[in-house]
Amino acid sequence: MIAGISHITFLAKSLDRATAFWVNVFDATEVYSSGGETFSLSKEKYFLVGNVWICVMEGDSLSDRTYNHIAFQTQAEEIDGYISRIKKIGAEIKEERSRVEGEGCSVYFYDFDNHLFELHSGNLGERLSCYLGTNNEAR
C-alpha cells in the first residue's frame, strides 16, 4: 500500500544556487549535505519544505521547459509575498494561465534549471466543486 510521497528529486547544475533558491523562495530547511561525498549518483542536499522532503542532486539542467510542475499549497494572501521573493532571487515568473472563477489563485515560476513550480491557494475539493458546477449546464 502506498502511504504517500517519500521525496521529490531535482537535478541542479549548481547546488549553491539551488540552495539559495529553495531557502529564499520556499523557506526550505537544509537538513543534509553530502559535501564532497557521493552516496547516490552525485553530490546532493536534502531540504524540508513544510513536511515535504526535497532532494537536489548535482547534474545537468533540463534542456526544455514544459508544463510538468510541482504545486505547493499556500494561502491566497501570501501569494504577493512569494512573488516578491521570486523576483528578488531572479527566478522567472511565467505568465498566468486563464482560470475558472473559484479554483484558487496561483503563481508559476521556473528555477534556474528549468523546473516549473506553482504556488496555489486552492485545494482538490474546491477545484472539483468549481469545475463540476461550471460544467453542469453542458452535461
Residue labelled with grid coordinates 494561465:
97
The C-alpha atoms of residue 127 and residue 24 are separated, in whole angstroms, by: 29
Quick check: is 44 catalytic? yes
User: Which candidate in 30, 37, 44, 137 is catalytic?
Assistant: 44
The SS3 call for residue 132 is helix
The C-alpha atoms of residue 37 and residue 49 are separated, in whole angstroms, by: 24
Using only the alpha carbons of the chain, give its radius of gyration.
17
The catalytic residues are 44
